[in-house]
Amino acid sequence: MSARRYQIAILTIGGIVVLGVLYYLLVFSPSAARERILRERIRKKESDIAQMTLLQEEWRELKNRHAGAVDLLKRRGKTFTLLSFLEGLSRKVGINDRIQYMKPVSFPETTSPMQQVGVELRLDGLSMEDLVRYLYHLEYSKKFLVVPRIKIQRMKGKGGEVVLRVTMQVSTYVLQQSS
């Protein structure tokens, strides 16, 4: 009888082991794998949310800067034209007699409320001080002006002194007229 009990005990233990292995393979292992996958998805979504929050802050900053630029353009007045401003600035700095040409530069049309406009101008016979003064007044005019391109060449002036030939492009934005 003890051999029979021994066989039953072995079969019971074997059955428990088989049930344990089946439980592990059919229930525990898939649920653990599923939990790992879900945790990874959660980490990815948290990372996405953090990136979206950063992009949202950047978007707000860009919108605020755009609104500030539009406000600056509105305060500049509807009568502002880049060409006349540059002519007036040349007179103010005392170099209007050195202007060789001023011609408009065209930019592609946009759907934005702001349109980029530009003027290319060439000044001959400038001293370094004249150029620095002119650029200073451009930069600090609070008219939202930029000089994206400038070419400076040294030339011999009257009396042998070194003078400059400056070709520059000055651009700004203007508010487009609503139709």
48, containing H or E segment: helix 29-76
- CATH for 82-175? 3.30.70.60
**Which residues touch 74 (CB under 8 Å, ≥6 apart)?**
175
pLDDT digits (tens, 9 = 90+) for 122-132: 999 898 999 99
Confidence at 71, pLDDT banded by 50, 70, 90: confident
pTM, full prediction = 0.65
Q: Which string of DSSP letters, residue by residue, matches 72-119?
A: HHHHH-TT--HHHHHHHHHHHHT-GGGEEEEEEE-----SSSEEEEEE
pLDDT digits (tens, 9 = 90+) for 94-152: 999 999 999 999 888 877 778 889 999 999 989 899 999 999 999 998 888 999 999 99
According to the model, what pLDDT value does residue 148 have?
Answer: 93
- Here the contacts of 135-141 (C-beta below 8 Å, separation 24 or greater) are 137/89, 137/92, 137/93, 138/89, 138/170, 141/85, 141/89
Kindly list the domain boundaries of the chain, sorted by start residue. 1-76, 82-175
> What are the structure tokens assigned to 135, written together?
């650029």
Confidence at 177, pLDDT banded by 50, 70, 90: low
**Which residues touch 98 (CB under 8 Å, ≥6 apart)?**
90, 123, 124, 125, 126, 130
Residue linked to tokens 């609104």: 67
C-beta neighbour count of 97 within 10 angstroms: 10
pLDDT at residue 170 greater than cutoff 60: yes
